[in-house]
Structure 1
Amino acid sequence: MQISIELTLTPLQNDFEEHIIKFIKRLRDSKFIVLENPLSTQVYGVYDEVMPFLTKEIKRAFGDMEHVLVYMKMVKSNRSDYEPNF
């Protein structure tokens, strides 16, 4: 099953930028479609492949920081080619 996930990593510490950059670079290095905008990063792929990858990367990010939030939204379908028609 295909999924679309929107992630926002929010470190609650002064050196937040370097942690966000490292997290996004690890997502980019994956085999999944990764799209970014100024507020979030989207990851697209097969559920059974994306979820173990994200679990590992989120745990790694949590280990790198003392206080951090991750906001995540998931949709059951690959929406990477979405274009508004209005």
Structure 2
Amino acid sequence: MELSVEISKYPLADDYIPAIKDFIERLNATDGISVTGNTMSTQIFGEYDLVMSVLSKEMKRSYEEFGKAIFVCKFIGANLDPALKPHGDN
């Protein structure tokens, strides 16, 4: 099963940019998922179990390294990666 996730990270710290950049860089370094970002959120696309595993691992690491943060996520049970050609209804 494929999955699309839109995620936003809000570190509860004055110097929040490094925590956000670190999280996105670690997602981008993961083989098997596609990551697209903009100024408001990051979108992650790939196989369900892999995406959920990566999010679990990297969110935990973010808390351990940078402290308190809020993650806001939306999950869609299909791969809506805009880099892929349309395949009809996903």
- TM-score, structure 2 normalization: 0.86
What residue is the counterpart of 2:25 in the other structure?
Answer: 25
Cα offsets for 1:32-72 (capped at 9, x unmatched): 10000100000000001111111000000011223210011
Cα offsets for 1:7-43 (capped at 9, x unmatched): 1010011110011011110011112100001000000
Q: Quote the offset at 1:2 in angstroms.
A: 0.3
Question: How far apart are the structure 1 equivalents of 2:44 and 2:54?
Answer: 11
What residue is the counterpart of 1:65 in the other structure?
Answer: 66
Structure 2 spans left out of the alignment, 5+ residues: 86-90
Question: How far apart are the structure 2 equivalents of 1:28 and 1:65?
Answer: 19
Report the RMSD for the aligned CA atoms in angstroms: 1.5
Give the aligned residue type for 2:80: R
Seq. identity, %: 34
Q: Verify: 1:8 aligned to 2:8, yes or no.
A: yes
- Would you identify which runs of 4 or more consecutive aligned residues in structure 1 move more than 4 Å? none
Structure 1 spans left out of the alignment, 5+ residues: none
What residue is the counterpart of 2:56 in the other structure?
Answer: 55
Question: How far apart are the structure 1 equivalents of 2:67 and 2:22?
Answer: 16
